[in-house]
A and B are shown apart, each in its own frame.
Chain A
């Protein structure tokens, strides 16, 4: 049903393409109109899969939390953790400080657990619902191991449950643990208990408390001392069911001298309703260890009038507590109706390094309030922030970032570069930098620019034979290049295509 809808959409955009080709280009062309057309591309992951799914009734109370916990067969301590978080959540209000207009969310109208129905026993590939495999295939994420390109291990999360994790055995030989969060709770309870909530406490904020109470699944990664993970680890998150939220939790631990590059991708069907995604990512980086965390976020963003789309309210934070430890966040954000997300680094180790590279695209009625926090408490810790906002249509795109240097943290440095690119004249770009420096030896730099794709640039490209649509893609990719270069190879190509698709439109 949904599939045929999608095809219709494509057909109509073809028609539009042809129509605009017929119109002569002489006379005054409104460049805003061109940009609007160019930035009105279709969302191609908007299909719904027909998969037998177990969904618990909507609503949230202690019984629901007990139900989730018992469905997952969790130990008592984890249930206690959830209940404490829930009781704390009840005392909190939704934050309102972001530059976002968030419609009221009825937390009792959401179902907090939805999982593809699966058989018990060891997860062999042929026991996975073929429709599930097809879904991930359509998303370009092959789960069949023989087809998985070498150099990438995948964990696939559909709604509230992990579907399949590939390459586990191969990784296990090196002592690397890469599995779904639920399995980690069962198989490595001591590790999970040791680290869970240590970077993002359930008391951290409203959505973190909610997640801590109801989180369902996610990925768990542990890289032992001295091990360089030989392949990219990646998790693909997919919301499929209607009326649900996704509350996943990712925990990554890199022990001394370990290295891992971790990728995360997200998509959801097109629906008129808004769906809530409130995740937590916690990362712990020990002595001389390095973690690269890359995100290509492409949740459904709602339609041109702002109907539907995902609310992406996520708390991501890493603790660089080892000396010479390093954490890099790289994100390409093109999806979600509303994004509220600040991947952060607490740099408590001496000479530790935090990096944040971000491209955030908003169009139509999308809103994004995103950025980072770099908290320097370790001596000689350094951080780099490069944020590239791209706004089109009637969207609002804000960068919000905190750089904090503690009183006893000598010799710290930060460089922040914060650029905004406006496509058209109905969108907004905003920058909210917060700088708190309590140590005189710190060197903190902040650079910011705002620019527009000018009619001159488009005409220059046109004159050289480059059509407007291609010119916009070229200019936007050029603008985002500094960040795109930080993505792992396999992901960079995907992200570049995503950037082009999300700006793809109907100019012939």
Chain B
């Protein structure tokens, strides 16, 4: 078995006074794909935000270890340098900042973190061209401002493009399928599959089984009321698709 990339134990997190994550346990090994499913408001996006270090949330209890490092001690940018990538559910627009400048700042910040010299402009542009092909983004992208005026599909493709450039060890895809038509969904998931190796891992957060037809999970977890209440193989996703979440809700709500 491959070694453990991410280990989350009894993770509790709040926004303001409201506790949203109530004791998450999760273990992700290299080479694995995990799907996290669950009804609205169960804490799926909060989990991804907390792992990426969004300062809007406060961790009140528990731990998260990322290839041996105490993840919760790292500043968000250092989590990124260490190989954690979050594909945003709603990618943020940054007017006037071109994708080229944005990615160049990102790539060079990472190189600086590892005491490597900044990349030359020529090498960088060459790399951009290669990575663009992964998600079939056209070359106008480089001169456009970050996510500004992008369609829903372009925004998601742009997220996967950034993932391709940064070559993370762990990618968290937060509702990457939301707002995508079937063609965009195919492009995005084929991009994710191309980037998959034996050494990295992916956490796919989604409402629907649909995405899992394209990105095959090894494990499916059901998140409900801030806890992972059920874990299974790909067949669990199919069961959820068929029966909805109500049976799980009933099971859990009766227990507590």
Contacts and interface: CB of A to CB of B under 8 A. Distances in A.
B96 A26 contact: no
A27 to B, nearest CB: 5
Given A25-B53, A27-B59, A31-B55, A463 B80 contact: yes
Contact of B54 (A459, A467, A470): A459
A504 B252 CA distance: 52
B145 A466 contact: no
B105 A462 contact: no
B51 to A, nearest CB: 11
B218 interface: no
Interface stretch (B24-32, B68-76, B187-195, B200-208): B68-76
A465 B73 contact: no
A462 B80 CA distance: 8
B76 A470 contact: no
B213 interface: no
A463 B55 contact: no
A384 B58 CA distance: 48
13 contacts: A25-B55, A25-B74, A26-B59, A26-B72, A29-B55, A459-B92, A460-B94, A464-B103, A464-B162, A466-B109, A475-B97, A478-B95, A478-B96
Interface in B94-121: 94-98, 101-103, 105-107, 109-110, 113
A479 to B, nearest CB: 5
B88 interface: yes
Nearest to A21: B75
Contact of A477 (B53, B97, B103): B97
Contacts of A478: 94-98, 101, 145
Contact of A462 (B59, B77, B95): B77
A468 B74 CA distance: 14
B1 interface: no
Interface of B: 52-56, 58-59, 72-77, 79-81, 85-86, 88, 91-92, 94-98, 101-103, 105-107, 109-110, 113, 145, 162, 166
A378 B1 CA distance: 81
Interface in A430-475: 454-457, 459-468, 470, 474-475
Contact of A465 (B77, B88, B98, B145): B77
A463 B109 CA distance: 12
A456 B54 CA distance: 9
Contact of A459 (B73, B76, B95): B76
B193 to A, nearest CB: 22
Contacts of A464: 80, 102-103, 106, 162, 166
B119 to A, nearest CB: 13
The 7 closest A-B pairs by CB, nearest first: A478-B96, A478-B97, A462-B76, A465-B80, A29-B55, A25-B75, A460-B92
Nearest to B111: A465
A27 B80 contact: no
Which of B74, B77, B102 has its CB near the most chain A CB atoms (within 10 A)? B77
Contact of B106 (A26, A454, A457, A465): A465
A463 B79 CA distance: 8
Contacts of A26: 53, 58-59, 72-73
B94 A475 contact: yes
A353 interface: no
A467 B77 CA distance: 6
Contacts of B75: 25, 462, 467
Contact of A24 (B73, B109, B113): B73
Contacts of A475: 94, 97
A482 interface: yes
Contacts of B113: 465
Interface in A288-335: none
Interface in A10-43: 24-29, 31
A489 to B, nearest CB: 17
Nearest to B88: A460
A10 B58 CA distance: 34
Given A464-B162, A465-B166, A470 B58 contact: no
Contacts of B98: 478
Given A24-B73, A28-B55, A470 B97 contact: no
A31 B74 CA distance: 17
Contacts of B79: 463
A497 interface: no
Contacts of A463: 52-53, 76-77, 79-80, 85-86, 88
A368 to B, nearest CB: 21
A25 B97 contact: no
A27 B55 contact: yes
Given A463-B86, A466-B105, A467-B77, A479 B56 contact: no
A464 to B, nearest CB: 4
Contacts of A467: 75, 77, 109
A479 B95 CA distance: 6
Nearest to B96: A478
Nearest to B80: A465
A468 B92 CA distance: 15
Given A463-B53, A478-B98, 5 more contacts: A463-B85, A468-B77, A474-B94, A474-B101, A480-B96
Contacts of B59: 26-27
A322 to B, nearest CB: 35
A154 B52 CA distance: 51
Nearest to A24: B73
A466 B97 contact: no
B56 A28 contact: yes
Contact of B55 (A455, A457, A477): A455
Nearest to A465: B80
Nearest to B50: A26
Contacts of B166: 464-465
Contacts of A29: 55
A483 to B, nearest CB: 10
